[in-house]
Chain A
Amino acid sequence: MNRVWQTDPQAVADEELVQACVAGDRTAFDLLVTRHQQHVYRLCYRFVGNHEDASELAQDAFVRAYRALAKFERSAKFTTWLHRIAVNVCLNRLALKTPKHQSLPDRDATPARTEPVDAGVLREERAARVRAAILRLPPKQRATLILRAYHELPHEEIARILGNSVGAVKANFFHALGNLKKLLDEE
């Protein structure tokens, strides 16, 4: 059988691939994975802050998506649906696994520098502090912050993913930013 996505994968919408997959074509799912793997991995990474867990969670999200493909509603947007699965996988992990308290890298503990410091090093130190601060946010605030600040999803879509109202999403985003500011300022 000649499949369009084998000749021109980019021309095929996610939702068509879902239909093909439900009809039994596993290669269609492979293409969905390839298309969204980096996005899902990044989402998971921001939730847990390390490669090993992010990799495992991202795989789990795709496995769950595969098993639930038959329940995917054609009117829905695949990326919203996949986001919801990935976020739920991450939230479940947070609920099950008490995260180790990760203190923010201490600026004062950094050895005194006598040479000019590479801007990249400073940037990475700052990044590590921000990542650690994100990990200390409550789960819903963390989810909202990640989906809004990094994945730039509209508030309405975040509300659908998290099962909240738009007002609650905005409030969570506001508090997430405020808490993050406090965490970064206090250390």
Chain B
Amino acid sequence: MNHLTDERIVDALEGALPDREAVHLRACAACEARVERLRGVLHDLRAVDVPEPSPLFWNHFGAQVNASIDAAPKHRSRWLTTAALAWMGAAAVVILAVIGLYESSTAKLVPPVGITQAPIDDAATAGTETPTDPDVETDEAWAVVRSFAADLHYDDAQEAGVVPRPGSLERAATELSTDERAELVRLIEEDLKRRGA
């Protein structure tokens, strides 16, 4: 008969060896030695206990678990805030590119009338007019966005594949609430500082 497999050695160690293999084990010194070798390790292992922490530790453990549970949603919302800020930052870059593209295109290129009218055929924009939000014009903070966007060149944006839809640019800016614009401005100012602008 073949020697015991690793699994059967474990069974032998735990006294769960089927009869047939048990007969082999009694007659095979090699398998017996393997079992005894591991039995010694297991004996040493089981003699080692975990140091008992202070009784005070157990008194406070439950309270600490509860505190962690209560703190977890705050932690999650902080994470969401960070993620939201990251998204806002990304959105700011896109909006800036789009605004810059728009301003450059209107300043340097005089598009034919037909071009600005064409998107109106689009189902998504049909029946809508370019909104005008007086807050955008009067919002001093928003001027930062405008000045930053003015540095972007139309050709650069076009090369990058950013093609604006006439009318969508202003909507992107004007659909932001005053608070959202203020946050966007803050992000842009932070970015400008970081770049040393």
Contact = CB atoms under 8 A, between A and B. Distances in A.
Interface of A: 26, 30, 33-34, 37-38, 41-42, 45-46, 51, 55, 58-60, 62-63, 66-67, 123, 126-127, 130-131, 134, 145, 149-150, 167, 170-171, 173-175, 177-178, 180-181, 184
Contacts of A123: 47
Main DSSP-derived SS at the B contact region: helix
B58 A37 contact: yes
Interface string B8-43: 011100000000000000000000000001101110
7 contacts: A26-B66, A62-B65, A130-B45, A170-B6, A177-B42, A180-B41, A181-B41
Q: Which of A30, A34, A173 has the most CB of B within 10 A?
A: A173
A170 B12 CA distance: 11
Main DSSP-derived SS at the A contact region: helix
B7 A150 contact: no
Contacts of A180: 41, 45
B41 A59 contact: no
A127 B47 contact: yes
A63 B72 contact: yes
A127 B48 contact: yes
Nearest to A179: B41
Interface of B: 6-7, 9-11, 37-38, 40-42, 44-51, 53, 57-58, 61-62, 64-66, 68-69, 72
B7 A59 contact: no
Nearest to A181: B41
Contacts of A67: 69, 72
A42 B45 CA distance: 14
A85 B99 CA distance: 50
A66 B50 CA distance: 25
A177 B112 CA distance: 82
B44 A184 contact: yes
Contacts of B41: 177-178, 180-181, 184
Contacts of B46: 149-150
Nearest to B39: A177
A181 B50 contact: no
A58 B68 CA distance: 12
Contact of A175 (B6, B51, B53, B57): B6
B58 A171 contact: no
A45 B7 CA distance: 27
Contacts of B37: 181
B66 A38 contact: no
Nearest to B51: A51
Contacts of A45: 50-51
Given A33-B61, A59-B68, A46 B44 contact: no
